[in-house]
Amino acid sequence: MTISLNSPLDMHLHLRDQEMLKVVAPLSAEIFAGAVIMPNLVPPITTIEVLESYRDRIVESIGDSKFAPWMTLFFKSDYDREFLESAKEHIKAIKLYPAGITTNSEGGVSGIDPKSLAQTLGAMSDLGIPLLVHGESNGFVMDREKEFGAVYAQLAEAFPDLKIVMEHITTKESAKLLERYENLYATITLHHLLITLDDVAGGMLQPHLFCKPIAKRPEDREALLRLALEAHPKVMFGSDSAPHPQSAKESYGCAAGVFTAPIALQALTGLFEAHNALDHIQAFVSDNAQSIYGVKPPQKIVTLEKKPFEVPDNYGEVVPMFAADVLEWSIQSID
């Protein structure tokens, strides 16, 4: 049994830089046709010069792979219109982080309200640049995304023409918000479709499943699964694959992030098959994103077959999700 995916896309990806970039970028570039690249480097990407030289390093690290790295800037409330006009041709979106909420987000925004962000958001809306949001408050860890719902509502109402993507949603409340506001969209990760907090901390602590936002309750996972399996047109696959060295994960003070890029398509195919939803996987991993972002990725056919795939223990210094497990689907060919 096989299934072919046409130009699979990862609409939320961390590639890092330097040695880590060289390890992880080829893994994504081999099996995906394009990805939205997150800007939370140290320091974050806030100028076109830095962004273009980062893109060059990505392109250099992926060799001949047919892969579009779609770049993003790190949101600042004082970007002026002229800057954004010239940035537009270099980027696909701008990513907003609440200050300090996740890995390398110290330079983010404290106290998000539409008025204080109006300079940048107004120009983005006029120029048609989508806003990507890490939607968490600084409240109790399990309630952060739910609490952020009020901010999503304010942003969506204040800027009705701005495309807003709720990144890596994890709650049933976020799933509902999608229906309430026409200009809200969402990415969903692989791991949030598969795990709950129980898998992270219900038994022995699993550092490689620890990420932001933290995995939630079974009913939240159900709500995400419904959206993904029906390939809801406002929802796209975004792995949020976020590599950290093993030493930073298995340590005192575990870094947040799950590394899924090289195993995501195999695991997603297994998940969609288990729910008799294979006819919707193409829309979830590519078509919806193409319509939402208005992008045309390079042509790449990835064929998966139902044949055991032994997930490696590690890729360089990084331990993937399902390390040393056997998945039911593997990649057969890439054309």
> Could you tell which of ligand NCD, Zn ion, none binds residue 40, using a CB distance below 5 to 8 A set by kind?
ligand NCD
Please select the residue that binds ligand NCD; options are 5, 7, 13, 14, rule is CB under 6 A: 14
Per CB under 6 A, the segment of 18-26, 50-58, 102-110, 230-238 that binds ligand NCD is 102-110
Q: Near ligand NCD by CB under 6 A, which window of 43-51, 99-107, 269-277, 317-325?
A: 99-107
> Which of positions 31-50 make contact with ligand NCD (CB under 6 A)?
40
Q: How far is the CB of 102 from ligand NCD (least distance, A)?
A: 3
Q: How many residues bind ligand NCD (CB under 6 A)?
A: 12
Q: State residue 12 phi and psi, 5-degree precision.
A: -160, 105
**10 is in the binding site of which of ligand NCD, Zn ion, none (Cβ under 5 to 8 A by kind)?**
none
Interaction partner, residue 257 (Zn ion, ligand NCD, none; CB < 5-8 Å by kind): ligand NCD
* Shortest Å distance, C-beta 255 to ligand NCD: 6
Rounded distance between C-alpha atoms, residue 202 and residue 198, angstroms: 4
Judged by beta carbon, residue 211 or residue 283, the one nearer ligand NCD is 211
* 320 makes contact with ligand NCD (CB under 6 A): no
By CB under 6 A, tell whether 330 contacts ligand NCD: no
Task: State the Cα torsion 199-203-209-212 to the nearest 10°.
Answer: 80
Q: Which of 10, 126, 240, 325 is catalytic?
A: 240
- The verdict on 240 binding Zn ion (CB under 5 A) reads yes
Find the distance separating the first CA and the last CA of the chain, reported in whole Å. 18
CA distance 334 to 330: 12
> Mask of contacts with Zn ion, 10-39, x by CB under 5 A?
------------------------------
Region binding Zn ion by CB under 5 A among candidate stretches 63-71, 137-145, 192-200, 234-242: 234-242
Verify binding: residue 256, ligand NCD, rule CB under 6 A: yes
- 240 tagged catalytic: yes
The minimum distance between CB 285 and ligand NCD, in angstroms, equals 19
The residue within the footprint of ligand NCD, chosen from 163, 192, 208, 212 (CB under 6 A), is 212
Interacting residues with Zn ion (CB under 5 A): 240
Catalytic residue list? 240
Q: Residues in the site for ligand NCD, rule: CB under 6 A?
A: 14, 40, 102-104, 134, 211-212, 240, 242, 256-257
